[in-house]
A and B are shown apart, each in its own frame.
Chain A
Amino acid sequence: MGKIVSASVQKDAAEAIVTSISEVAGIKAEVVERSSGTHTRNVVVVNSSPTSWRSLAEKLYSDHAVDYCSMITGIHWPEGDDDRKWEVVYHLLRTGVRDPPSEDGVVQPIIVNPSTVRGFGTPVEIEVHVHLTDSRTPSIDSVQDIWVGADWNEKETWDLVGIDFDGHDGMRRVLLPHETPRGYHPLQKQHNLRYHGFEEMYDDAQGFMRKPDDVGKIK
Chain B
Amino acid sequence: MAEMWISMGPQHPMTHGLWTLKVKVDGETVVDTEPDLGYIHRGVEKICEARDFTQITTYCDRLCYASANTWSHSYIYAAADLLEVEVPERAEYIRLIAIEIQRIASHLMWLGAYGPDIGNLSIMVWCLREREMMMDLLQELGGSRMHYNFPRIGGVKRDLPYGFAQRARAKLKLFLNRIQEYEALYDESTIFLVRSQGVGYAKPEEMVNHGVSGPNLRAAGVNYDVRWAHPYSVYSELDWSAPVERSSIKGADCYDRYRVRVEEMRVSASMALQALDKIPGGADTHYEPEDPMILAKAPSRAPEGTSGAHHFEDSRGESMFYIAGGGEGRGKQPYRVSIRSPIFITIPFAAKCMIGYKVADIPAIMGSFDPCIGETDR
Contact = CB atoms under 8 A, between A and B. Distances in A.
B211 A2 contact: no
Nearest to B248: A107
* B interface, over-half SS: mixed
Contacts of B77: 36-37
A37 B85 contact: yes
A38 B348 contact: no
Shortest beta-carbon contacts, A-B, top 5:
A149-B211, A37-B87, A123-B229, A109-B221, A73-B338
Interface in A153-202: 153, 156, 160, 173-177, 186-187, 191, 193, 196
Contacts of A196: 50
B264 interface: no
B208 A97 contact: yes
A96 interface: yes
Interface string A83-126: 00000010101011111101001111111101000000001010
Interface string B308-349: 111100000010101010000000000110101000110010
B378 interface: yes
With a 10 A CB-CB cut-off, give which of A37, A102, A176, A196 has the most chain B CB atoms. A37
Contacts of A111: 223, 241, 244
A75 interface: yes
A2 B224 contact: no
A67 B208 contact: yes
A210 to B, nearest CB: 18
11 contacts: A1-B237, A4-B236, A5-B231, A37-B80, A39-B233, A70-B311, A91-B309, A98-B205, A109-B222, A112-B224, A123-B224
A149 B210 contact: yes
Contacts of A24: none
A16 interface: no
Interface string B232-251: 11111111110011111100
Nearest to A98: B205
A106 B233 CA distance: 36
B100 interface: no
Given A1-B237, A149-B210, A71 B338 contact: yes
B137 to A, nearest CB: 23
A35 interface: yes
Contacts of B245: 109
A95 B236 contact: no
Contacts of B324: 75
With a 10 A CB-CB cut-off, give which of B228, B344, B348 has the most chain A CB atoms. B228
Nearest to A122: B229
A59 interface: no
B309 A127 contact: yes
Contacts of B318: 70, 93
A34 interface: yes
Interface in B82-130: 84-87, 89, 92
